[in-house]
C-alpha cells in the first residue's frame, strides 16, 4: 500500500517570495512521484514528475522538486511566486513500471499568493 | 492533439437516482482511470480500464461501475446515488502505464 502526506494544508505567501510545499510518501515498492496543480473549478494539470535519473526535476514555469529516497520526500519549491501561482497543489505517487500507474494523492496544499 | 474531455460539466441528481459520466481519452492513449475528488480532499482512485476490461479498483462499492469502448472512451456509472457521492469526478488517460493526463472533471451534486 502507498500513502502520501502533504504537511501543509494552506500556504499564504507574498508575490515574488519563495515557497516550499512539503510532501512525504510511504511505499513498499519503487515509486514514481508527481506534482499536479488544480486551478479553481478545473481539473488537474501535471506540473512535474520524477521517474528515474536526476533527483532534481524542473517544470517549464519555474517550479522544481527534489526526490529524496532516504527521507521519502518530494518537496516542491519555487524561488519567486506570481499571483497566477494561486492554486491547489497535489503530490501523488504511483508504482513504477509494470506495477501500474494508479495514483495515490495527498490531501493537497492550497497556495494563496498575496500582492 | 486533443486532450481528455469529459461530459457533462455539471450534473444535479437526487438520492437514489442513477448517473452516467463520460470521458474521451487523449489521442494515442489506451487506458482510462477514474477518480473521485470530494470537496477539500485529494482525488481517490475508483478504477482503471485497459483494453475494455477493468484493470484495478479502489475502495469503492459495486454500485460504481464502468465501461471502456473500442475507441478507448469510457463511462462511469453510479447507481443508487447517496449524498456522499457529491464530488468532482475526474477522468485521466494514459498510454499503457505511462503518465496520466486529466480531464476538466464532472461536478456531481446529489440532493
Residue range A27-36, pLDDT digits in tens: 888 889 999 9
Q: Cα–Cα distance between B60 and B87 in angstroms, integer?
A: 14
Question: Residues of B numbered 21-80 whose beta carbons fall under 8 angstroms of chain A's beta carbons: which are they?
Answer: 31, 33, 35, 40-45, 48, 55-56, 58
Q: Which of A68, A91, A34, A14 is nearest to B94 (CA)?
A: A34
Of A46, A97, A98, the CB nearest to B101: A46
pLDDT, position A99: 64
Cell triple for A33: 512521484
Question: Cα–chain-centroid distance for residue A51?
Answer: 14
SS3 B85: helix
Q: Cα–Cα distance between A59 and A78 in angstroms, integer?
A: 10
A100 and chain B: CB distance < 8 Å anywhere? yes
Q: What is the pLDDT along chain A (115 residues), one digit of tens a residue?
A: 899 999 999 999 999 999 999 999 998 888 899 999 999 888 999 999 999 888 999 998 899 999 999 999 999 999 999 999 999 999 999 987 666 789 999 999 999 999 9
Question: Cα–chain-centroid distance for residue B39?
Answer: 16
Interchain pair B56, A102: CB under 8 A: yes
Q: Cα–Cα distance between B24 and B7 in angstroms, integer?
A: 9
pLDDT, position B101: 94
Q: Cα–Cα distance between B69 and B16 in angstroms, integer?
A: 27
Contact B63, B78 (CB under 8 A): yes
Distance from CA of B80 to the nearest CA of A (A): 26
Amino acid at each position: 500500500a502507498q500513502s502520501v502526506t502533504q504537511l501543509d494544508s494552506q500556504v499564504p505567501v507574498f508575490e515574488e517570495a519563495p515557497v516550499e510545499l512539503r510532501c512525504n510518501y510511504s511505499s513498499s515498492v519503487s515509486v514514481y512521484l508527481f506534482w499536479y496543480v488544480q486551478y479553481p473549478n478545473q481539473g488537474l494539470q501535471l506540473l512535474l514528475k520524477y521517474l528515474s535519473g536526476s533527483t532534481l526535476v524542473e517544470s517549464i514555469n519555474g517550479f522544481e522538486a527534489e526526490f529524496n529516497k532516504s527521507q521519502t520526500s518530494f518537496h516542491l519549491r519555487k524561488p519567486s511566486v506570481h499571483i497566477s501561482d494561486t492554486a491547489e497543489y497535489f503530490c501523488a505517487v504511483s508504482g513504477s513500471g509494470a506495477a501500474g500507474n494508479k495514483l495515490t494523492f495527498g490531501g493537497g496544499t492550497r497556495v494563496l499568493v498575496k500582492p | 492533439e486533443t486532450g481528455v474531455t469529459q461530459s457533462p460539466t455539471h450534473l444535479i441528481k437526487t438520492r437514489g437516482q442513477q448517473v452516467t459520466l463520460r470521458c474521451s481519452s487523449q489521442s494515442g492513449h489506451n487506458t482510462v482511470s477514474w477518480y473521485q475528488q470530494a470537496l477539500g480532499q485529494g482525488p481517490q482512485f475508483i478504477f482503471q480500464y485497459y483494453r475494455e476490461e477493468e484493470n484495478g479498483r479502489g475502495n469503492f462499492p459495486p454500485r460504481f461501475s464502468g465501461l471502456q469502448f473500442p475507441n478507448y472512451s469510457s463511462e462511469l456509472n453510479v447507481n443508487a446515488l447517496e449524498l456522499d457521492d457529491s464530488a468532482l469526478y475526474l477522468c485521466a488517460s494514459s498510454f499503457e502505464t505511462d503518465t496520466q493526463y486529466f480531464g476538466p472533471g464532472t461536478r456531481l451534486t446529489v440532493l
